[in-house]
Amino acid sequence: MKIHAFICTREKTLSTTTENLVSYLSRCKIEVKLIVNAKSIFSGYQKAFKEAKPGSKDIIILCHDDIEILLGEKYFLKILIEELTNVKTGFIGPAGTTELTSRAVWWEQEQWRDQKLRGFVFHGNDLNTGANPTYYGPYGPVATLDGLFLAARAEVLEAVDLRKPDYFDGEWDFYDIHYTHTAKKKGFVNKAVPILLLHNSAGELVGRDSWHENRQRFINENLDKFPIKV
């Protein structure tokens, strides 16, 4: 069994955060593929997957380039392998929701208030300069996961199909909800697990038009399925 990591980045000159991430994954003996200036996150992940030619039980990580993994390498690998050995498991990641409403925003305040969210993520540029610890809820099975870090066996990605679905227009948004929701529809169980990360983003891209467009298209495609629950 091999572990691969596919990381989309728009910068040919890597940031310190991305360099540190690649170094960390390399120390874990994970094969890292940087996807630079892809047309879309869908085609980038699809191309990297084809080039890697993974075995069905190989583990594939799909993650942002602006994260820092805050676990010791051995413990990180232990979580990946133990969680993904179960053939019923779909995607794992650090944060998600047990119920996606018809508004299709996994982190919305109402769901947080009603204790539907799961996971924990630090947000900020540096743990030593006021990073915000965001506790969503206890780890466990979820309906969908956030895309800052996803991991699954290759056979799950093959079942899901990494290509952009026809109903989407934007190239970079809502891939995480689509992928994890599709895995759930295929009978797999997604889980939020204790992979502790520092994310250098506070979600600024949510404001862009393509995010709202793909969100609405996802809603239209799944009108008869809401709420989407574990």
pLDDT average, residue stretch 182-194? 98
Which pLDDT score, from 0 to 100, does residue 194 have? 98
Rounded to an integer, what distance in angstroms lies between the CA atom of residue 49 and that of residue 54? 7
Taking the CB of residue 98, how many other CB atoms lie within 10 A of it?
23
Residue for token pair 């995607």: 91
Helix (H) or strand (E) holding 17: helix 16-27
Say whether pLDDT at 201 is over 80: no
Selecting from 3.30.2350.10, 1.10.3720.10, 3.10.180.10, 3.90.550.10, what CATH number does the domain 3-229 have?
3.90.550.10
Q: Are 192 and 119 in contact (CB under 8 A)?
A: yes
Question: Mind listing the pLDDT tens digit for each residue in 120-168?
Answer: 999 999 898 889 999 999 999 999 999 999 999 999 999 999 999 999 9
Whether the CB-CB separation of 213 and 170 falls below 8 Å is answered with yes
Q: Give me the chain's average pLDDT, please.
A: 95
For the chain, domain boundaries: 3-229
Distance CA 99, CA 18 (A): 32
